[in-house]
Amino acid sequence: MHTTQLPAASSLAHHWSLDPSVCFLNHGSFGATPKAVLAQQEQHRTQMEAEPVRWFVETLEPLLDSARTRMGTLMNADADDLAFVTNATEGVSTIVSNLRFEAGDELLTSAHEYNACTNALRLCAQRTGAKIISAPIPFPIESPEQAERAILSAVTPRTKLVLLSHITSPTGLILPVQRIISALNARGIDTLLDSAHAPGFLPIDLKTLNPAYCTGNFHKWLCAPKGSAFLFVRKDRQHLIHPLRLSHGYNSARTDRSRFRLNFDITGTADYSPALCAPTSLDFLSSLFPGGLNEVMHRNSTLLLQGREILCNALKITPPAPTNMLGTLFAMILPPHATDVQSRLNARPTRYADALQDALLKNWRIQVPVFRAAGLDGPSGAPHRILRIAAQLYNTPAQYEYLAKAVQHELHEESKL
């Protein structure tokens, strides 16, 4: 391990429980929850365990109603069109598993989609004979219009559903989803909007976007506890959709709630505290600056652009995407090695997706993702090797400078293999 002292995190880092011996630049993968939010989560758990029967029968439903209303306001959505799920992957699987497709139907997505969500399409295609079409969104990319053209030009009369990323997970691109969804709606094609990264990353207006379905995580950029996410189903589609875990709501005689609400609100004995803490996280982040959550998002975006400039200058790399497609994630294509060197690199044992990530953590105490994404190919036809950084309030420019130094060193060491 290199003996260089780690750069300090920001003055706000004390709000999180992150290990100070690690330079954490990977908020985008799982998020990180502030101590104050974790304390509120523990209060919910303590109250539940004090009298579990009363809590589940009397207390839980009003708490869920309140939390859902708060999050609906954040995303300009009717609270009755929202359900809490554990993560966006569950949200995607819920929609895809409920819809009916036939042989010859086409399910459209792109290579920039999150692999776990695409797996839901793969299983569906295996069971039904439907075909997955991957829109060729380029990377590097020059403009949002390129992504829009790539997706819409892949639509055919057989397209039945489009799984569309709001912000792409592997490449961190903000896609022009409003224009794409509008064009798809005009053609009578439903969109499943994968907004896994969107809450707390950028403003969301579901009434304006008007997708048939949308799902996203509160545990990422809103910093809620793990297991906190939402599923939006437009009213005209709610009769088609049931939760993956069907419970007593399915045949409940209650008439004060829609069947969608009865099915999704309580799906059995589980820990509902992550969902209940989503408003707590929103309130906590909003309290940090006079401008509330909008200022948090602006600060993170500004920091991300600083990190991008530091890394690209140090490694003499042209940014692979324009500024107007970035928020708080940036993915860069690492310089390729010679073919013989790369083949030896590929044979290295690794705990993470790429041995460079292992080396950065072991030698420099930096946690940052390095990976290859199938379909995002370089000129040689092999997938680009991508390093992705995130920007959260606890990060600093000095941490990206430290990362740049570490990557330069490790790439040089790799070239000697």
User: In the predicted model, is pLDDT for residue 2 greater than 80?
Assistant: no
Cβ pair 87, 229 in contact under 8 A = yes
* Whole-number average pLDDT of the chain: 95
Q: Check residues 333 and 348 and name the one with the higher pLDDT.
A: 333
- pLDDT value for 141: 96
Residue range 239-266, pLDDT digits in tens: 999 999 999 999 999 999 999 999 999 9
Residue 359 has a pLDDT of 95
pLDDT per residue as tens digits for the range 92-122? 999 999 999 999 999 999 999 999 999 999 9
Lowest mean pLDDT, pick from 11-25, 271-285, 329-343, 347-361? 329-343
Note the pLDDT of residue 88: 98
Task: Judge whether 119 and 147 are in contact, CB under 8 Å.
Answer: no
What is the SS3 assignment for 132-200? Answer: EEEECCCCCCCCHHHHHHHHHHCCCCCEEEEEEECECCCCCCECCHHHHHHHHHHCCCEEEEECCCCCC
What pLDDT score does 335 carry?
Answer: 87
How large is the average pLDDT for residues 69-86?
A: 98
Domains observed in the chain: 13-25+290-415 (3.90.1150.10), 38-284 (3.40.640.10)
Residue 317 has pLDDT above 60, yes or no: yes
On the question of pLDDT at 209 being above 60, the answer is: yes
Q: Is the pLDDT of residue 1 over 60?
A: no
Considering only CA atoms, give the Rg of the chain. 22
Instruction: Dump pLDDT digits (tens) for 132-162.
Output: 999 999 999 999 999 999 999 999 999 999 9
Which amino acid would we find at residue 71?
A: M
Mean pLDDT on 387-410: 98
Residue 261: predicted pLDDT: 96
What is the share, in percent, of the chain residues with pLDDT greater than 70? 98
Over 90: is that where the pLDDT of 375 sits? no
